C-alpha cells in the first residue's frame, strides 16, 4: 500500500469518510449481533463528526462478538459543549438501553468521552466496561486544540495540551482495560500523543499509511478491532433480567411517583411550589403518550424513572444531570421531515464534492481545495439549521410536551435539596 496522500486508496478512504458524514441522517445506527450474552458495543465519534463514521467498523465485525452495536449520536451540536456533557449523554444512552456490559470504541475526542465515562460514571450506573478501544485519541493533546477553536468549543479546549481536563483524566489510575490505536500519518493527533504515559506496549497499535480520518475505513483497523474483541476475556454474562423499573407499567410508575412525593416534607415552601408538587402525579399522567406510539411512550416512561431516582437520590449529581438532560432534550413527535430536509442538503453537497474531485481540482491532503470549501459551506448550512431547530425545540416545548414528569420532579427535588437544582 502506498503511504502517500495522493494514492488512490488513500483518497478513496478519505472520500468515504466525507460521504458517510454527508449521508449520516440516512444511515443505520444500530446493528444486531448474534450472541445476546456478549457485551453491547458503543461507538463514539470525534469532534465535528457524526455517528456514521463508525459504519464501516460496525459492518466489518463478526456478529458473534457482540449483542448489538450502537453508533452514538449527540444532542447540542454546535453549542460548544465540553467532554463532561458528552459523557452524560453516553451515560443516558446506556442507561436507556439498560445495558450492563459494554465495550466502548471511541475515535479522537470520542476516546476521551469513553475513558471519562468508564472512570467516572460506569460504576455508578452498575455498568461494566470490558474494554475501551481508543482510536487516534488526544490523551496528550491535539494540534487542532488551538485558538480560535478553543474559544468556541469547550470540548476542544478540554483536549488542549496540558489542559486541566487531560491532567485530571490521565492522572487517575485507569482500571478499565484500554487498547490505544494511533495512525502513522496523523498530523492532528501525533502517534506519541495517542497513548497514556504508562501504557504498556501490548496495548499500543499503530495503523500504517493512514491519517486521522482515513484510518476509520482502513482494513487494518477493522482487523485490529476484530482481533481485540476476539481475544477479550469476558466472564459469562447474565441476560438482562433485572426488571426493576423497566417492568412497571405507566400506572405503576405513577403510583410509585405519588408515594415518593407524599413522603416529601412540604413545610416551609411557598404555596406555588407546594401546589405544583401536590399535583405532580396528575400532571405526569396527563403528559403520558399513547402506548401505540412506542418511541414517545418509552421516552416518557424513562423520564418518570429518572424522576423517581432523582427524588430517591437528592445528593446524587449524576441522577440530577441525567434527569436535566432528558427533560430538556426528549420531545415527543420529533420532526422526521426536518431530518430528511437536512439529509437532502447533505447529499447535494456530497455530489458536488464528488464532481469536484473527479474534475481533478487542486489536491491538498488528499481532498480538493474547492471541495473543502464546499464541504465547509454545507457544514455551516446544516449546522445552522440544526442549531436553530435545537433552540426552537428546547424553547417551544420546555415545559409542555417534553417529558413533563421529569420537569415537575425537579420541583419536587428542590423542596429537599434546593442547592442542587441550579441550571447547568
The predicted-structure confidence for 377-398, as pLDDT tens digits, reads as follows 554 455 455 445 444 443 333 3
Do 168 and 257 lie in one domain? The reply is no
Q: Are residues 167 and 207 in the same domain?
A: yes
- pLDDT of the residue at 199: 74
Q: Which domain holds residue 197?
A: 8-231
pLDDT tens-digit readout, 238-267? 544 443 344 467 778 878 877 777 776 666
Q: Are 332 and 293 in contact (CB under 8 A)?
A: yes
**Residue 370 pLDDT greater than 70, yes or no:** no
Average pLDDT in the 72-83 region? 85
Q: How confident is the model at residue 236 (pLDDT cuts 50, 70, 90)?
A: low
In-domain check, residue 308: yes
> Are 325 and 350 found together in one domain?
no
Q: Which one of 265-269, 349-353, 361-365 scores highest in mean pLDDT? A: 265-269
What total number of domains does the chain contain? 3
Average pLDDT (143-157) is 88
166 with 268, same domain: the answer is no
Give me the DSSP letters along 212-226.
TTGGGG-HHHHHHHH
pLDDT tens-digit series, residues 300-337: 888 888 888 877 787 788 988 888 888 777 654 444 44
**Roughly what angle, to the nearest 10 degrees, separates helices 164-171 and 109-120?**
50
Average pLDDT, the chain: 76
**Predicted confidence band at 354 (pLDDT cuts at 50, 70, 90)?**
low
Q: Is residue 110 part of a domain?
A: yes
Q: Are 26 and 343 in contact (CB under 8 A)?
A: yes
**368 vs 73 pLDDT, higher one:** 73
Characterize the bridge pairing of strands 30-32 and 68-72: antiparallel
Q: Could you identify the residue written with the cell 406555588?
A: 272
**Which comes out higher in pLDDT, residue 241 or 228?**
228
- 408 shares a domain with 340: no
Q: What's the confidence (pLDDT) of residue 306?
A: 84
User: Within a domain: residue 115?
Assistant: yes
Is 271 found in the same domain as 227?
no
More confident residue, 357 or 399: 357
Based on the fold, state whether residues 210 and 308 are members of the same structural domain: no
pLDDT at 275 over 90: no
**One domain for residues 272 and 194:** no
The share of the chain scoring above pLDDT 70, in percent, equals 68
pLDDT over 90, % of the chain: 38
Indicate whether 154 belongs to any domain.
Answer: yes
For residue 236, being part of any structural domain is answered with no
Give which of 39, 175, 45 is closest to 102, Cα–Cα. 39
C-alpha grid cell for residue 32?
444486531
Q: Of 420 and 129, which is predicted with more confidence?
A: 129
Closest among 23, 75, 27 to 344, alpha carbons compared? 23
Residue 417 lies in a domain: yes
- By three-state DSSP, how is residue 400 classified? coil
The per-residue pLDDT for 12 is: 85
Domain contains 300: yes
- Higher pLDDT pick, 172 / 134: 134
329 shares its domain with 345: no
Q: Taking 80 as the threshold, does the pLDDT of residue 153 lie above it?
A: yes
Provide mean pLDDT across the span 48-55: 93
Question: For position 268, what pLDDT does the model report?
Answer: 66
Lowest mean pLDDT among 41-55, 164-178, 336-350, 391-405: 391-405
Answer with the residue of higher pLDDT: 112 or 324. 112
Contacts of residue 156, defined as CB under 8 A and 6 or more positions apart, other chains included, come to 47, 144, 145, 149, 150
> How confident is residue 6, by pLDDT bands cut at 50, 70 and 90?
low
Domain identity same for 286 and 204: no
Q: Is the pLDDT of residue 289 over 60?
A: yes
The answer to whether residues 288 and 378 belong to one domain is no
Note the pLDDT of residue 82: 93
Contact 45, 209 (CB under 8 A): no
Q: Which helix (H) or strand (E) holds 30?
A: strand 30-32
Q: Give the residue-averaged pLDDT of 353-377.
A: 49
Identify whether 2 is part of a domain: no
Grid coordinates 487516534 are at which residue?
136
Q: What is the pLDDT of residue 410?
A: 43
Is a pLDDT exceeding 90 seen at residue 222? yes
The DSSP 8-state label assigned to residue 128 in this structure reads E
Q: Look at residue 373 in the predicted model and tell me its pLDDT.
A: 53
Q: Is the domain of 161 the same as that of 61?
A: yes
pLDDT of residue 365: 42
- Structural domain ending residue among the three candidates 198, 231, 264: 231
Confidence of residue 355 (pLDDT cuts 50, 70, 90): low
Amino acid at each position: 500500500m502506498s503511504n502517500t496522500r495522493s494514492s488512490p486508496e488513500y483518497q478513496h478512504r478519505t472520500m468515504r469518510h466525507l460521504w458517510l458524514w454527508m449521508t449520516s441522517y440516512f444511515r443505520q445506527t444500530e446493528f444486531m449481533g448474534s450472541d445476546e450474552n456478549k457485551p453491547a458495543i458503543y461507538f463514539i465519534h470525534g469532534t465535528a463528526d457524526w455517528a456514521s463514521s463508525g459504519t464501516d467498523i460496525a459492518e466489518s465485525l463478526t456478529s458473534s462478538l457482540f449483542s448489538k452495536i450502537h453508533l452514538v449520536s449527540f444532542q447540542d451540536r454546535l453549542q460548544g459543549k465540553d467532554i463532561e456533557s458528552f459523557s452524560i449523554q453516553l451515560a443516558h444512552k446506556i442507561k436507556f438501553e439498560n445495558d450492563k456490559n459494554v465495550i466502548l470504541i471511541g475515535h479522537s475526542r470520542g476516546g476521551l468521552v469513553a475513558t471519562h465515562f468508564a472512570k467516572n460514571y460506569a460504576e455508578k450506573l452498575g455498568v461494566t466496561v470490558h474494554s475501551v478501544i481508543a482510536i487516534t485519541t488526544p490523551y496528550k493533546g491535539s494540534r487542532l486544540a488551538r485558538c480560535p477553536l478553543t474559544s468556541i468549543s469547550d470540548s476542544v479546549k478540554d483536549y488542549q495540551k496540558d489542559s486541566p481536563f487531560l491532567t485530571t483524566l490521565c492522572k487517575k489510575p485507569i482500571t478499565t482495560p484500554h487498547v490505544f490505536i494511533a495512525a502513522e500519518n496523523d498530523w492532528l493527533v501525533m502517534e506519541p500523543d495517542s497513548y497514556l504515559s504508562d501504557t504498556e506496549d501490548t496495548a499500543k497499535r499503530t495503523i500504517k499509511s493512514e491519517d486521522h480520518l482515513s484510518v476509520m475505513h482502513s482494513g487494518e483497523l477493522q482487523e485490529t478491532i476484530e482481533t481485540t474483541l476476539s481475544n477479550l476475556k469476558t466472564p459469562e454474562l447474565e441476560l438482562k433480567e433485572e426488571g426493576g423499573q423497566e417492568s412497571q407499567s405507566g400506572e405503576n410508575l405513577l403510583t410509585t411517583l405519588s408515594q415518593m412525593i407524599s413522603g416529601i416534607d412540604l413545610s416551609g415552601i411557598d404555596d406555588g411550589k407546594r401546589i405544583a408538587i401536590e399535583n405532580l402525579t396528575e400532571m405526569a399522567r396527563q403528559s403520558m403518550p399513547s402506548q401505540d406510539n412506542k418511541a414517545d411512550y418509552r421516552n416518557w416512561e424513562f423520564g418518570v424513572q429518572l424522576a423517581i431516582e432523582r427524588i430517591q437520590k437528592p445528593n446524587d449529581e449524576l441522577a440530577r444531570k441525567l434527569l436535566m438532560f432528558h427533560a430538556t432534550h426528549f420531545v415527543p413527535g420529533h420532526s422526521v421531515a426536518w431530518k430528511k430536509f437536512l439529509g437532502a442538503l447533505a447529499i447535494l453537497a456530497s455530489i458536488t464534492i464528488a464532481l469536484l474531485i473527479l474534475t481533478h481540482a487542486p489536491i491538498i491532503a488528499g481532498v480538493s481545495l474547492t471541495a473543502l470549501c464546499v464541504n465547509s459551506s454545507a457544514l455551516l448550512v446544516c449546522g445552522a439549521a440544526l442549531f436553530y431547530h435545537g433552540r426552537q425545540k428546547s424553547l417551544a416545548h420546555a415545559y409542555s410536551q417534553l417529558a413533563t414528569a421529569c420537569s415537575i420532579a425537579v420541583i419536587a427535588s428542590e423542596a429537599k435539596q434546593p442547592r442542587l437544582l441550579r441550571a447547568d
